Structure formats: structure tokens, C-alpha cells
Amino acid sequence: MSNITPINVTSDDLAALAAAGIIPSDCPPAQVAIFAQLCGAVQLDPRLKEIELIPLGGGKYSPYVRKDGLRKIAARTGDFAGIEPIRFDVLPNGGYRTAAQFEAGQKPRTATCTVYRFVRGERCAFTVTVSMSEFNKGRGQWQAMPIQMLSKVAEAHALRMAFPEATNGLLGEGEIEVARDIAAPARGPVLPALEIGSPKFQQVVVALATDKATLEQVWTKFAKDDAVQEALIDAVNEYEQHTP
């Protein structure tokens, strides 16, 4: 892993990779250059979709590697010593469930993965447990294959624990949605517009005129608009003038 092979990414290469969806078409050149160097460092070929560059939102990007890609990186260290089948809902007494034990529609609470690495000649275990509630955002493949997706997350975390010098900074399958939520946190719910002259507008006018609401409270329920606010103030003044 110390011998980094530079990848010469030409403008034609960039166009081809962007057309294939392997890198974003609007990705900054500096980010693309870093991605090209990373491809050489981990010896994964973006043309084979072993590694991709994906947008996270908020102007951020991340390299994304499929499960087999992470295994390849680990194997090339020469220290990879195997991986155990994923265990679900591991109990303190050592009991657990396998994927075959879940009925249609059932989901595990946790997934546990153990990866082995030779450390100074000794086979060492690196075990990680991940939670369904932390990673399942109910989007994409998580809806159709939640068990498989959680398995991939557990394996990616275990591989990163065992081989941090080779795999850190690489997103695995199942981690994209969480990374996007972190990079560009979802804003609050979109507030409805208050249409001038509408029945709801008239109700708000009465509430303001009778001191049952304030403008600050109005803008917690509706999208704030300066023109609407001016119309509200004018309507409240008119209401007060014509109401005994």
C-alpha cells in the first residue's frame, strides 16, 4: 500500500467517468485530483466501478467502495485472515440469529461482524456491532433489503477497524444515506405560504387583531413573506377601525 501508483486522469477520462455516473459531472477539479490519487493508493479501478466519487450534499464529496472493494484492499495488505458470517441480535449469553431466521418483513436490531487480521504473526479478531436504527433511513435499498444493507455496514466497519491504514475515509454500501444526512442535515419542514385574501389569511387577521396571536407566532406556522406581513398589518388596522 505504500507504493502509490499515480493515475493520469485526462479530460476524456473525466468525461467518460462523469457520463457513467462514477464521478459527479460538476465535481471540482481539485476533488477529482484527490480521487485519482486515492484510486492509485488503494489500487481500485473506477472504470470497473470498484470505487466511485459521490456527492454528499453541502458541496462535499466522498469516495465510495463496494463491499468486494473493501475486501480487496484488506487482502492486498497480506494480513487479511478471514471474516465470519454476520450475526444478528447478539445476546449477552452468546446467542444470536442468522439472516435465514427472519421472516418476510422482519428486521434485526443489530448486526455483528468479525474480521481477522494477522498482527505480528498472531490471528486477531476485530468485532463491530452496528444498529439498524442508526443506519436505516428508510430510503433506497434499505426499504427492499434492510438485512443485507445492515450486513454490509457491519462488515465495512469491521474492515475499517482491522485495516484502518488502508480503508479509513472510504464509504461502504449502506453508509451513504447517513453520510449525506451528516454532510447536509435536513432542514425543518417546509412551511405553507399564507395567501393574501384567503380564508386562512382572514382568520390570521382576526387572531392578530384580538391578541390571540402575534406575528412571531404566525411565522412559526407559515413561510415568512414581507409582502404578506405588510398586508397583514394593513388588514389588522382596517379590522380594528371597523370593529367596535
What is the pLDDT, as a whole number, of residue 10? 63
Res. 232: pLDDT tops 70: yes
Give the pLDDT band (50/70/90) at residue 161.
very high
55-69, 90-104, 111-125, 158-172, range with greatest mean pLDDT: 111-125
Q: Tell me the whole-structure pTM to 2 decimals.
A: 0.68
Q: How far is residue 113's CA from residue 94's CA, in Å, rounded to a whole number?
A: 14
Cell triple for 236: 389588522
What is the pLDDT, as a whole number, of residue 20? 77
Give the CA distances from residue 33 to residues 9, 30, 132, 141, 200, in Å, rounded to whole numbers and listed in that order. Answer: 8, 5, 35, 30, 54
- C-beta atoms surrounding 189 within 10 Å: 6
What is the pLDDT, as a whole number, of residue 22? 80
What is the pLDDT, as a whole number, of residue 4? 45
Contacts of 123 (CB under 8 A, 6+ apart): 81, 116, 117
Mean pLDDT of 208-229: 86
Pairing of strands 80-83, 110-119: antiparallel
Mean pLDDT over the full length of the chain: 86
What is the pLDDT, as a whole number, of residue 11? 65
Res. 64: pLDDT tops 80: yes
pLDDT over 70, % of the chain:
92
* Type of residue at 183: A
More confident residue, 184 or 154: 154
The domains of the chain are located at: 1-64, 66-163, 199-242
Give the pLDDT band (50/70/90) at residue 154.
very high
Contact 159, 74 (CB under 8 A): yes
